[in-house]
Amino acid sequence: MSKRDLKKYLNELSKEQLEEQIIELYEKFSPVKVYYDFVFNPKEDKLLQECKVKISHEYFPIKKPNAKWRPKAKMRRSVAQKYIKHFILLGVDPFVIADIMLYNIEIAQTYSSQNHIKQELFYKSMFNSFEQAVNFSISNGILSDFKERIIAIEKQTLQQKWKNKYDFEAILDKIDL
């Protein structure tokens, strides 16, 4: 069904029929419920904090009480990417999304400053995240608001001698920060 056909169909329904369909969608489909819950009660600060906690646990997992061992860091970029995609779909404020994008890289850099990382994929993944964050900030006109954090991330790659540190530098050279 095309968008035009959908509009035509919806125009033929009465207000009560429309309400019934929306309530049915809300009850049947979890994404619709999540969307309406966010629209009517957008607790962006709470979402942001929950997201940051989940991302930080990827690098610094919490030892469970009475456990004899500490869980190993998983360092999955996909956790942050899932949140970013979800926030974009919900229409969360671009400042919050950019904050999460940069936080993901910053927490990874904190981890890498304390632990030697052998996986080449980690560095490539963090570069992709950095490039995505910079492009997102530019496209939403908020680059100047995150300038200091972006520069700090690039400086950390140099300080920690990341294998792809010059790729980070090249991004900043392109945008003339």
Q: Where are the domains of the chain?
A: 1-41, 44-175
pLDDT per residue as tens digits for the range 16-72? 998 898 889 888 988 888 788 777 877 888 888 999 999 999 999 887 777 677 788
Q: Contacts from 33-41 at CB under 8 Å and sequence distance 24+?
A: 34/90, 35/89, 35/90, 38/90, 38/91, 38/92
pLDDT per residue as tens digits for the range 87-99? 998 889 999 999 9
Tell me the pTM. Answer: 0.80
Q: Is-contact 152 134, C-beta < 8 A? A: no
